[in-house]
Structures are given as structure tokens and as C-alpha cells.
Structure 1
């Protein structure tokens, strides 16, 4: 057996709120440890002639809060194991032991394993004072967050939100940056210091952007964000998007959306994808934001249709993607290393093969060309097929050989045309030529799709130059000669070279 370890709460800071039972426990203790002496109740304990040892030194000697709490836990367990039977060791923490006290959580886990009897006596939490002093009822919807680990994904504007552990201006700044991912800079928040403590309490309302410009942050500071049901805030959440798509597909929703199927929306998915690509080519962030939203809508609609059938929903899609990203990045989330992009890609391919094995598929029995989507655009598909074949040595030696193959294919196409071969034969020869041209792209490190896209844009730009030049002369392309248009085409090329 070992000593008994008792954890007590010192309340939110007002000595008058200490319970009689906790005072008796402190007085009767063999030894009292406190997490910190930086608490208003400590003066009252001195008046009651209760001596204690604090762990304040750990905050200065260790570099992070998790290290501090782990050290406190280990120290208390060591003391309990070394003490004689019947010794009562008390560990006193600010507020309530079960609210924002990491060391207490660790003690609850480790003490049973170490054979140490652990008792916990509650005290008034800072939450009690917050409900009273800030004037809200938690049953309306409430969440408590830790400033030291706050993430924007946790924010739910329709809930009253208290953010504790706002120790200093740095954590206040981190809190501000997180909140501003959802709330506008001018949004009013409340900062509370030492709630319920006479002559120390301070409650200040400030716009969010000023949160880290205030003085007075310390152990008893918190930030309160009142609940808000404003649609503008909810519209920045993924949950709201899911809700809207559900409404659109409901019997009370939009007749057009209700009629759609996977098949009817297939072309929309393709079109929206290409519209996103266009914004990338144009380097237009505002337009990209809009088009990415349109593409996301397609994903939401397809997921919603399956949710209605009970097969999966969009959160299953997200879970599957998260699992895949973690699994395929062992050099990030595991113990594998990748010093460059090539090694990272090798890890990715290795984990893809492992996924197949887990699904009962033997990668070594699959075709080398498997995994290329059937409906890819033909030029892109040719590029991917050639890349896969090249990995097993089925490839040209160099770009010069590829160009020789292009000349061969040109001759065969010319022959098919000159001999008036069947249309299908001419088409096949043309396909062979395009396939050979795609091979050159790999050897010069170019994506053929991107190369052709650039040429398309160049053609549009030069042809529009012709149209605009003719319009200034009161003419159009329809009533202009080829020679005149060719001259303007050369002008357009010359203008490009000047830029």
C-alpha cells in the first residue's frame, strides 16, 4: 500500500466560496502541494496557517505545458509511493479538479496502475462564475475550449463559447487568429479576468481584432464568444453546406435538384472541373474561389444522393480521404522518411500497393497499365499509359527516336490520305501520330495537355488580335482574305515578342 492522494479544487478565486470540507481536508493533510501560488485563494490559506509547496518552478524550467503536467503527475506519484501508509497527500488546483486540469486526468489514469488510492473533491469552477458574471445559460448550447490548442474546426457559432487558459498576449493572439477564420475582425467578444474575485474582476468587451492588444492576461483570464445564429456566420461552416444541399434535395426543396441523378450530373462534374482549371491558368484567385465552390457542390450532390439511399454520406467520404492521406504519407504520420519529392512519391506508391493487398488484390497480378481512369481525356490518358509502360522499360531511348517515330507516323498518315483510305484507317493513323507526339512530351519533361492548352490560348489570343484589328478598319474576318489575316497574325506574333 501507499499514501492516499487527494486532489481538491480551490475554486475560481473567491476565498468565501471554499467549501468547509476542502478546508478541513487541507488542514488535516500530511503535506499540501499546489499547482501554483498565483491564485487569490493562496492568501486565505496562509491566514488559515495551511502551508504548501508549489510547482511554479516547473513552469520556468520546462518548455511546454504538457511537460509541466507530466512532471507534476510523476512527482505526486513518487511522493505517494515513498510515503508511509496512512499519509494523506493533498494536491490543490485552481477551480475544479475536473475542469482544464491535465495533471488530474493523468493521475486518474496512472494511480490505479500504481496501486495508489486517489480521491477527488470538487470545488467551484471558473465556469460557475462565468455563467453568473457573463449571464448566459449553458443549456442553450455551450462549449469550453482550451486556448493553447484551439482549432477553427472546433468553432460552432450557434453555441456559447468559453475559451480558457488564455494566460498571456501570445495565447490571446493565437485565439484571435483562430476566431478570425470564422468571425469578422469587428465581431465583439468578451474578455474576463478573475471573475468573481473582489477588487480583481475585470470584464471588457472588445472587437475581435483588438483581443491581443489588451493588458492583464493571466491565470484567471478567459474569452467569451456569445452564441450567434446569424446566417452569415453559419454559412462559413461545412455543416451548413451539408444542411443546404439536404434541403435542396428534400421534397420541400428545389424541383430541379430533386430530379438529378449521378448520370444527369456527370457532365456538370466534368465541366466544373475544367472551369476550375481555367481559373488556375488565368491565375485568378477570386474566380478560382467561386469555381472551387461550384466543384464542391457537385461532390456534395453526389454524396447527398447516396446518403438518401443509406449507402454513405459526405462525412464518410471525408473519413475515407483522411484515412487514405494518413496511410499513404508514412513519412509524415508514421516512422518512414522521405528526403525529397521522389522518395515521398515512392512511399505513396508503396502504400497504394499495400492498400490493394489488404483488399485482397495482388498488385503483381495486375496489368502494368491498370489504374489509369477509363474516361480521362485522350491526350492525358496517352501520357499516363506511356509513363506506366516506361517504368518497366517499354520505351524509346531518347527524344530523337521519338521524333523519328513522329516522322514515320506522318508518312503513314500522308499515305492513307493520298490513297484515299477508309476514314477509319485515316483516323487510326492520326491517332498513332498524336500518340507518338505525346511520347516526346515525356522526354522533354512537359505535360502534353498543358502544352496544348498553352497553344490553344496562344491561338485564341492571336486570332482575337486579328478580329480586333479588322474591327478597327470596319471589317470582319468573314469579308477578309486569308493573306490579310495572315499578315495580322504575324503582327500579333511580333507584338508578343515585344512583351
Structure 2
């Protein structure tokens, strides 16, 4: 079987190499190095060691992943004739993609792999920066850095920053979370005689010319919460603090029930911002909707029922499940295909329903718009002094509507009915009742009673057409009596 021994060259020069590692290098029958760009390599060559390098592969490929895969292919070809020793910078198991690919080959039974020692670049970097990793640190790959990988409250080390192109990508990713002028440290050749630390503002990161394969970027943690506001965890901390023992009395008192009206209001305000194509307003209103989501999740966590992780897991699983054309093998070439699949999957997820009204959702309503219009007008004094004025206006509009009904003019009936509804919303405002909530309760009440009527019909001798209106009304009254009995318990 093909045999490959991997040796780490450490982070510094030859003086830092262990005696055992040095002997393995000297005894290697065929020594291959990933790159010439390492202090130990230069010193070993002066001692007469013959080594083959993969630097040419870097020049021949467009992406680092292609480079690493090609190196592994070459290693497998070379080991077909005799065992080889493969030397990599640092420790073989720290930020070394080619070794991870070799481990995959080992698991599949293609090679026999031995991994020898070699100190990683982390220890000399911690020493150079005078930081303690127990405080929390991250080691991230600069060639594949994603904004959401970064934890701003921790020490962040970004390796594999070989050149200005990688540094530019790293800079842009970090600037999505950190202030542009956040000071970072460029660490080069840590632990060697050529060790160098350069402090620069984040926005200048790719303008430094001393970047090479021995470069690591250090991003100091940000402990100040107000400077971490772009971080999800920071917002979650804020919500938890507001509902905590030393937080806000109002926030602590809120429940899922009391927050319902605010979720409705914020959703419609977001819709208004979208309709007005106001990006700044959309940002603000999205934040207000997000606040409601986090508050509900925090309430769930405080009560011990669920957490934000449960919310994310549920919606994430749903998106994967309902997009089999993306995450599985289902074919969906058009939007129609996608919607058809979506509905079919949705039907499979839902339990069998017993009512025609089951699954009906509240849709966008003008009730809240009416409520907000009148609330705004009242703030500037355009309002009845007492609720009696609102009642009188309702009676006036109701009389006018009845007259139009008798006259039979559809257009004017629509207009007058709108006036009636508008005055009812105003009465709700005086009473500090959300018209949306009131309408929702009425809908739920109707749904409950009508479902009872349906059940009575199904238990009887036929369908709706076999019952008189009086019989159906009796079923309805049964439902009302049933509600009354529950309320008196």
C-alpha cells in the first residue's frame, strides 16, 4: 500500500525544530515539501538535503482548493513507487488542508498515513502577541473566511493570508462586522529571527506589502457591546438583559399575548416602508420586526419551553425540506414547479383538517391603517373630546349606510360601509383595543362555532343541504352554550 509520512516543519527556524523531527527529515528517502517559502527549508538545503517542491502547482491553478487537490494527487502518484515524506509548514494538523485531504484518502483505504510532530504557529503567535487563548480565540482560514464565522468578542487569528488578494477578501469580510479603523496586527514569521509585528487599521490591511505564507492576521476582541451591534450574539445579549433581573420592568412583564399587537403593527409598518421604497425605513422596520422575534424567543427561553436555536432549527429544516430541488434530487425547472412542490410538501406536513376554515390565515388588513391614521390625528388634537363623540359619529354613519342600502346604490354603499368601519375603529382606539386583535377574536369565535356546526352535520344524516337554517342555528346555539359553560368553570 502507498505510504506517506507527514512531518511538520514548525513555525520558526531550524533551531526550533525538535531533534526527532530533524532526524526524520534527514533520514527521508524521498522528501517532498509543500512550499519553499519556509525558514527551515532554506537551512536544510544548506545542509545538502534534496527536496522536491510543489510551488509550481500554485502557479498553475486558479484556486487554493485546486492547488491542494492537485498536490494530493501528485503525492499519491509519487508514493506508488516508494514511501515518501511530505513536509508542511507548522503542525500537520493545524490549518493544513492537504493533510486533511490525505486523511480522507487514508479513511477510504487508499494510503497508509503516518503523521509526525512539528510545532504549530499558534504558540509563537500567542507569545508574540502576549495573549492568553483561555480567554477565547478563533483560528480561521483567510482563503475561505465568512462573515458569520467571526466571533467579535474573542481573539481572532486569520491564517493563510498569503498575499494582497487574500488580504483584500479578508478585509472586506471583517469590515462587515468590525469598524473600518479597528486596529489589527499582521504577524509574520512568528517565533523566528525574522518575526515581525505590524499594526494597521483594518481598512489598510491589503495595502501592506510584507504579506507571505508565514503571515497571520490578529484581530483583537471587542468587548464593548455598543461596538458589537452588528453581531447577532450582541443583540441577543441586549434582549436577555432587558428581560433580566436588572433589566426593564416593561420588557420583563411582556408575554406572547401582550406582544401580539406590536408584531402586527411592526409588520404593517414594514410593509408601508417597502411600498414607499424607503431603504432606510426598511432597515429600521426590519429591525423592529426582528426585535419582536427575539423577544418572543427570549420569553420562550425564560419560560423553559423553547429558545432561538429551536426557532432557527425549525425554520431551517422547513426550508431544506420544502426546497428538494435545491437540497435534494427533485426536479423543478420553473416557478410553477417550485410552488407545486411546495404546496404538496406543505400538505404532507399538516395534519388532516376537519373544518373548511382550518388553515385560514389573517391577511394584511386596513384596520390597522385606520387605527394608525386616527391615532396620528388625535396626537395633534383632531379628535373627539370623549368617546361619546365617537359613538354619535358611529350612529350618524350607521344611519347613512342604512339609507344607502335602501336606495340600492352599490358604490355609495361601499363608501358608507367604509365610514361605519372607520368609526368603529375609532371607538376601539378610545378603548385602547386593537381592532386587529378584536377582529381576530371574532374570527376565532366564528371558526370555533362553525366547526361545531360542521361536526353536528357530519354526525347527522346528510350534508348541509339536508338541514334547515333553524336546525343549523340550533347547532350554533349549542356551540355558544358550550363556550359559556367553559367560561363559568
TM-score, structure 1 normalization: 0.70
Secondary structure of the residue aligned to 2:256 is coil
For structure 1, the residue ranges without an aligned partner over 5 or more in a row are 381-412, 421-425, 432-499
- The answer to whether residue 235 in structure 2 is matched with residue 235 in structure 1 is no
Structure 2 unaligned segments of length 5 or more: list them: 369-401, 419-489
| Counterpart for residue 347 of structure 2 | 356
Superposition RMSD in Å:
3.1
Deviation at 1:93, TM superposition (A): 0.3
Q: Are 1:418 and 2:413 matched, yes or no?
A: no
Correspondence list, 1:63-78, <5 A = 63-78=62-77
Q: Would the alpha carbon gap of residues 89 and 232 (structure 1) be closer, same or farther in structure 2, given more than 3 Å must change?
A: same
* CA distance, structure 2, for counterparts of residue 132 and residue 371 of structure 1: 62
Cα distance, 1:329 vs structure 2: 3.6
1:491: which partner in 2? none
Which of 306, 314, 319 pairs up with 1:312?
306
Encode CA deviations 1:448-482: one digit per residue, 9 max, x unaligned: xxxxxxxxxxxxxxxxxxxxxxxxxxxxxxxxxxx
**1:94 Cα deviation after fit:** 0.7
CA-to-aligned-CA distance 1:188-230 (integer Å, 9 cap, x gap)? 11112222332x4332111111111111221111211112211
Q: CA deviation at 1:3?
A: 4.8
1:327 aligns with 2:326: no
Contact 1:329–1:348 under 8 Å retained in 2: no
2:287 to 293, 304, 311: 293
- In the alignment, is the contact (CA less than 8 A) between 2:322 and 2:346 conserved in 1? no
CA contact (8 A) 1:169 1:213 kept: yes
1:276, 1:288 within 8 Å by CA — same for their partners in 2? yes
- Secondary structure of 1:136 counterpart: coil
Cα distance in 2 between the residues matched to 1:35 and 1:17: 19
Alpha-carbon distance in 1 for matches of 2:362, 2:279: 31
Within 5 Å, give how 1:372-411 maps onto structure 2: 372-374=360-362, 376-377=364-365
**What pairs with 1:103-182 in structure 2 (closer than 5 Å)?**
103-114=98-109, 116-182=111-177
The answer to whether the 8 A contact 2:143-2:166 is kept is yes
Which of 72, 88, 91 aligns to 1:93? It is 88
1:36 aligns with 2:35: yes
**Structure 1 pair 337–171 and aligned structure 2 pair: CA distance change class (3 A):** farther
Cα distance between partner residues in 2 of 1:378 and 1:350 = 32
Other structure's SS at 1:90 match:
strand
Shift in Å, 1:62 = 2.5
SS in 1 for 2:210: coil
8 Å CA contact 1:12–1:94 kept in 2: the answer is: yes
Alpha-carbon separation, structure 2, partners of 1:316 and 1:88: 50
Shift, 1:155, TM fit = 1.5
> Residue 11 of structure 2 aligns with which residue?
12
Match of 2:472 in 1: none
CA distance in 1, matches of 2:162, 2:195: 15
User: SS of the residue aligned with 1:145?
Assistant: strand
Structure 2: distance between partners of 1:368 and 1:78: 68
Post-superposition offset of 1:374: 3.6
* Cα separation, 2, equivalents of 1:14 and 1:165: 19
User: 2 CA distance for matches of 1:178 and 1:277?
Assistant: 30
Sort the Cα spacing of 1:256 and 1:118 in 2 relative to 1 into closer, same or farther, 3 A. same
- SS of 1:158's equivalent? coil
Q: CA deviation at 1:112?
A: 4.1
CA contact (8 A) 1:152 1:182 kept: yes
SS of 1:114 mapped into structure 2:
coil
Residue in 2 aligned with 1:488? none
Q: Assess, with a 3 A threshold, how the Cα gap between structure 1 residues 174 and 14 changes in structure 2: closer, same or farther.
A: same
Cα pair 2:225 2:234 within 8 Å, conserved: no
Aligned to 1:223: 217
Matched position secondary structure for 1:12: coil
**1:31–1:90 CA contact under 8 A, matched in 2:** yes
1:386 is matched with none
Report the Cα offset of residue 177 of structure 1: 0.7
Residues 152 and 231 in structure 2, CA contact (< 8 A), matched pair in contact too: no
Query: What secondary structure is seen at the aligned counterpart in 2 of 1:323?
Result: helix
For 1:295 and 1:370, the matched residues in 2 are separated by 26
* SS of corresponding position for 2:12: coil
1:17 to 1:353, Cα distance in 2 relative to 1, 3 A: same
Q: 1:11·1:95 contact (CA, 8 Å) conserved in 2?
A: yes
| Alpha-carbon contact 1:182-1:233 (below 8 Å) kept | no
Q: 1:204 to 1:419 in 2, by over 3 A?
A: closer
- 1:272 aligned residue: 266
User: What is the aligned length?
Assistant: 384
Residue in structure 2 matched with residue 24 of structure 1 by the alignment = 23
Please list, as runs of the form range in 1=range in 2, the aligned pairs for 1:420-459 lying within 5 A after superposition: none
